Chains A and B, each alone.
Chain A
Amino acid sequence: MKVHRHSYDAVIVGAGGAGLRAAIEAAGKCRTAVVTKLYPTRSHTGAAQGGMCAALANVEEDSWEWHLFDTIKGGDYLVDQPAAEIMCREAIDAVIELEHFGLPFNRTPDGKIDQRRFGGHTRNHGESPVRRACYSADRTGHMILQTLFQQCVARGVNFFNELHVLDVAFVDGRVGGVVAYDLATGDLHVFNTKAVLFATGGYGKMFKVSSNAHTLTGDGPGLLYRRGIPLQDMEFFQFHPTGIYKLGILLSEAARGEGGILRNQSGERFMERYAPTVKDLAPRDMVSRAIQSEVLDGRGVGEAGDAVHLDLTHLPPEQIDAKLPDITEFVRTYLGIEPKTEPIPIQPTAHYAMGGIPTNVDGEVVVDPDGTAFPGLYAAGECACVSVHGSNRLGTNSLLDIVVFGKRGGRAMVDFVHSTDLPDLPGGVEADVRSRIQSLVSGSGGEKVARIRADLQAAMTEKAFVYRSEETLSSMLATLGDLVSRYAEVTVDDKGPTFNYDLTEALELGYLLDLSEALVVSARARTESRGAQFRTDHPLRDDANWMRHTLATRNGDGTVELSYKPVVTGDYLPMERKY
């Protein structure tokens, strides 16, 4: 394999919302390379639909402090409150800045940015739903991704497209470079750099029913985890209530924000029983559990009774066309159903990782319970854990997270590279990547990537989904042991250097397996139910023992070691979570 060598002040890995926002911050200030395994506009930020919350108060009274309260309560009090305060305060600037960048928000009659309701977002500490989500029809993520990419084009940002970053090199306790595999040529690229910011997104492809893109395999957290960086709060994975039946494709919460209603087999609006005040606009963890409960109690719909209905039929057709055009088109395309006249079968779908690479509010990766930053290492967006989402993210706060912390991480990284020299990178840092690739290409084992991945996804969906227990999680660990053994016997069909996606998928599966293990080990140790993690054997929240973040570290021998750090609290004391 030919090796190309590059030298930059900073490297950004991933070109979704967080990576692009960081790139804008670094543009013109330091020599920066943005490396993505896709093209920037293929990133999954573009699939986000409903909106981005900020207390602009354009259509009704609102305040960033109410937004903060909702974020903390929504996260079931595992949120680091000072970090969430920064996010909710800076949300207002972030939305205005996006508008200045050209983002085509929907507008009010007087020309301001329009806002609508979203799950868990309320006025005055839970009184009633509030119109806080700034949006652009049901394609807000698409508009954010396109707008940030446009601004990168305007600034001449230097992209390396279809280069898959597979390793990071540390030199004397600081970042020295990254190693990437060139999908088009099969060559390796070694970037010598002072700093690297990971913005690689989520890893929802460890589950069978998922709203995530095929390419969301957690490469960034996965490769850092292998290099000894801990991963935080991995047990908290969000299951979005309204995925298209069997396919998992996301139907935005905006459908309920616009007035959509969830109904069971008998047509009952069952959320009235689970969340009497906000009903269908309860946070996602609660709605997903309510749906699973309806299904388990025999009140589901669909061939196997394992779905419920999302009903939009009472909404004015022109409102559906204007506010929800894309998601209703998905329903027509994939289900052959007309959402204006028929209810839509939906089920919870694996959607968002609250956990990830631990960072502080400046995107610096922190590697121990004391918050020690690793020099030159940054992360932002879904792959990171600040933690502003705690154990359950509120709808729209992910788009907010990527722009606020993409910007902050980019800014901190620029300051850092101005304060330091380029480290010398020793020869041979690409050796591990080279040997991983060679063993997959030249191996003689008969295992196939697709079968192992399908088995992983099926098992994770059976044993580590909305409901978990000691029994299911232990069983999942045993399954993972088998899958990891089988993975060692993988041989890819494609031996060539050119767009060898057989090889790419094999490399990605390795990260999914490692991250699944971190998730299951963390979930099994947490003997309580909080936010997105529901343990049937420990159904209550246990603040006395579990108001703390999990850190999962992989030892040299491959075992997972857990440690904990306290939640950074603030003005809001934990209380029972009712809506």
Chain B
Amino acid sequence: MALMDVELKVKRFNPDRDHKPHWQAFTVQAEPTDRVLDALHSVRWDQDGTLSFRRSCAHGVCGSDAMIINGANALACIVLVKDAAGGNGGTITVEPIRGLPVIKDLVVDMEPFFAQYRSVMPYLVNTEDPGYTERLQSPEDRARYDDTTKCILCAACTTACPVYWGNSQYVGPAAIVNAHRFVFDSRDQAGTERLDLLSQRSGVWKCRTAFSCSEACPRGIKVTQAIQEVKRKTLFDRI
């Protein structure tokens, strides 16, 4: 397949040198079916070793490489160069996700994001002794929370949320997705406690239903719907 020249514009920041971020353009040769991640690698490996970005699995399951590509949150390893450059006049712009502090280039501080995740009791609570066998769960009950089990904690949804940009106390879509996964799991017994956490000031009611999170999710999770379901559950549990 013919190689294409692509202009990769990267928003860069080096805390040891820069006072504010700046754009830098690189020209890379890529196959149309290469991933944007491959183009970033080609910069780091062949042109400028100082370019910092996280990545690991390179096929959309580890959640390391969420970034803003041509203005929208995405994983660099599942966006192809032909799609990103083709729709944008041969140029791909890449910048760090918003709402979390930038440390260097495309690397942001993930600690606030994981702290918000931890705050919603993202684990199964069930104090009954099930004995020496599995707990039963019907396929229908299993399907009830299937969508939100797909989350890879990449932060694409949370950092696409305009409410989160303005209020870093908001737990954000990803934390609610991971709460939803247990709220609607028939085996879980911590419903009330978890819903109490989510009804607090920094919880689900901060959501303004902008749908940015659903558009951003690289796993296709219906994030906004999950948040609405948690909101409804919070209300019904209070009646």
Chain B associates with chain A: yes
On A, residues with C-beta under 8 Å from B are 38-39, 41-44, 46-47, 95-96, 99-102, 104-113, 136, 139, 142-143, 146, 150-151, 153-154, 184, 213-215, 247, 249, 326, 330, 333-336, 448-450, 492-494, 496-502
Q: How many A-B residue pairs have CB under 8 A?
A: 156
Inside 8 A of B117's CB, which chain A residues have their CB?
Answer: 153
Inside 8 A of A492's CB, which chain B residues have their CB?
Answer: 49
- B134-174, CB under 8 A of A: which get 1 and which 0? 11111100100110011111000000000000000000000
- Of B44, B138, B145, which one neighbours A502 at CB under 8 angstroms? B44
Inside 8 A of B15's CB, which chain A residues have their CB?
Answer: 498
Inside 8 A of A326's CB, which chain B residues have their CB?
Answer: 61
Give B50-71 interface residues, CB cut-off 8 Å to A: 50, 52-64
Contact in complex: B58, A214 (CB < 8 Å): yes
Q: How far is the CB of B75 from chain A (nearest CB, A)?
A: 10
B104 at the interface (CB under 8 A from A): yes
Contact in complex: B130, A100 (CB < 8 Å): yes
Contact in complex: B185, A47 (CB < 8 Å): no
B228 at the interface (CB under 8 A from A): no
CA separation between A496 and B46, bound complex, in Å?
18
CA separation between A494 and B107, bound complex, in Å?
15
Inside 8 A of A496's CB, which chain B residues have their CB?
Answer: 14, 16, 50
7 closest pairs, A vs B, by CB? A493-B49, A102-B124, A450-B45, A111-B136, A502-B49, A150-B123, A154-B123
Q: How far is the CB of B58 from chain A (nearest CB, A)?
A: 6
Q: How far is the CB of B104 from chain A (nearest CB, A)?
A: 5
- Of A41, A102, A142, which one neighbours B187 at CB under 8 angstroms? A102
- Of A139, A146, A498, which one neighbours B14 at CB under 8 angstroms? A498
Q: How far is the CB of B143 from chain A (nearest CB, A)?
A: 9
With A47-B62, A154-B123, A498-B52 as given contacts, are A112 and B134 in contact (CB-CB < 8 Å)? yes
B132 at the interface (CB under 8 A from A): yes
CA separation between A151 and B187, bound complex, in Å?
15
- Of A42, A96, A112, which one neighbours B136 at CB under 8 angstroms? A112
B191 at the interface (CB under 8 A from A): no
- Of B78, B114, B124, B134, which one neighbours A150 at CB under 8 angstroms? B124
With A112-B134, A214-B56, A502-B50 as given contacts, are A333 and B80 in contact (CB-CB < 8 Å)? yes
Contact in complex: A111, B137 (CB < 8 Å): yes
Q: Which residue of B lies closest to A503 (CB)?
A: B49
B48 at the interface (CB under 8 A from A): yes
B25 at the interface (CB under 8 A from A): no
On B, residues with C-beta under 8 Å from A are 14-16, 33, 35, 41, 44-46, 48-50, 52-64, 78, 80, 103-105, 107, 110, 114, 117-118, 121-126, 130, 132-139, 142, 145-146, 149-153, 182, 185, 187-188
- Of B46, B52, B185, which one neighbours A499 at CB under 8 angstroms? B52
CA separation between A96 and B133, bound complex, in Å?
6
Q: How far is the CB of B71 from chain A (nearest CB, A)?
A: 20
Inside 8 A of A139's CB, which chain B residues have their CB?
Answer: 61, 150
CA separation between A108 and B136, bound complex, in Å?
9
Inside 8 A of A100's CB, which chain B residues have their CB?
Answer: 126, 130, 134-135
CA separation between A142 and B62, bound complex, in Å?
9
**Additional A-B contact list (17), CB under 8 Å, known A42-B56, A502-B50:** A42-B57, A96-B132, A100-B130, A102-B188, A104-B146, A105-B134, A106-B142, A107-B138, A153-B117, A213-B57, A213-B58, A247-B59, A448-B49, A449-B49, A450-B44, A493-B49, A494-B52
Inside 8 A of B63's CB, which chain A residues have their CB?
Answer: 41-42
Contact in complex: A107, B124 (CB < 8 Å): no
CA separation between A107 and B16, bound complex, in Å?
53
Contact in complex: A333, B78 (CB < 8 Å): yes
Interface-centre pick from A139, A143, A494 (highest chain B CB count, 10 A): A494
Q: Which residue of A lies closest to B107 (CB)?
A: A499
Inside 8 A of A493's CB, which chain B residues have their CB?
Answer: 48-50
Q: How far is the CB of B144 from chain A (nearest CB, A)?
A: 10
CA separation between A448 and B114, bound complex, in Å?
35
Contact in complex: B33, A334 (CB < 8 Å): yes
CA separation between A253 and B119, bound complex, in Å?
37
Contact in complex: B62, A42 (CB < 8 Å): yes
Q: Which residue of B lies closest to A250 (CB)?
A: B59
Q: Which residue of A lies closest to B186 (CB)?
A: A111
Contact in complex: B149, A104 (CB < 8 Å): yes
CA separation between A496 and B107, bound complex, in Å?
14
Inside 8 A of B138's CB, which chain A residues have their CB?
Answer: 107, 109, 111
With A47-B59, A47-B61 as given contacts, are A498 and B103 in contact (CB-CB < 8 Å)? yes
Contact in complex: A41, B153 (CB < 8 Å): yes
- Of B45, B50, B118, which one neighbours A153 at CB under 8 angstroms? B118
CA separation between A184 and B16, bound complex, in Å?
12
CA separation between A432 and B71, bound complex, in Å?
44
Contact in complex: B62, A213 (CB < 8 Å): yes
Q: How far is the CB of A439 from chain B (nearest CB, A)?
A: 16
23 CB < 8 A contacts A-B: A41-B153, A47-B59, A100-B130, A104-B142, A104-B146, A107-B142, A111-B138, A111-B139, A139-B61, A142-B152, A184-B103, A213-B58, A213-B62, A214-B56, A215-B56, A330-B60, A333-B60, A448-B45, A450-B41, A450-B44, A450-B45, A499-B103, A501-B53
Inside 8 A of B125's CB, which chain A residues have their CB?
Answer: 154
Q: How far is the CB of B150 from chain A (nearest CB, A)?
A: 7
Contact in complex: A450, B46 (CB < 8 Å): yes
Q: Which residue of B lies closest to A156 (CB)?
A: B118
Q: Which residue of A lies closest to B143 (CB)?
A: A107
- Of B56, B126, B134, which one neighbours A96 at CB under 8 angstroms? B134
Inside 8 A of B55's CB, which chain A residues have their CB?
Answer: 214
Q: How far is the CB of B85 from chain A (nearest CB, A)?
A: 16
CA separation between A391 and B58, bound complex, in Å?
28
CA separation between A96 and B64, bound complex, in Å?
30
Inside 8 A of B137's CB, which chain A residues have their CB?
Answer: 107, 111
With A44-B56, A213-B57 as given contacts, are A146 and B149 in contact (CB-CB < 8 Å)? yes
CA separation between A146 and B149, bound complex, in Å?
9
Contact in complex: B142, A151 (CB < 8 Å): no
Inside 8 A of A104's CB, which chain B residues have their CB?
Answer: 142, 145-146, 149, 185
Inside 8 A of A214's CB, which chain B residues have their CB?
Answer: 55-58
Inside 8 A of B78's CB, which chain A residues have their CB?
Answer: 333
CA separation between A214 and B118, bound complex, in Å?
27
- Of B48, B52, B64, which one neighbours A500 at CB under 8 angstroms? B52
Inside 8 A of A500's CB, which chain B residues have their CB?
Answer: 50, 52
CA separation between A101 and B45, bound complex, in Å?
42
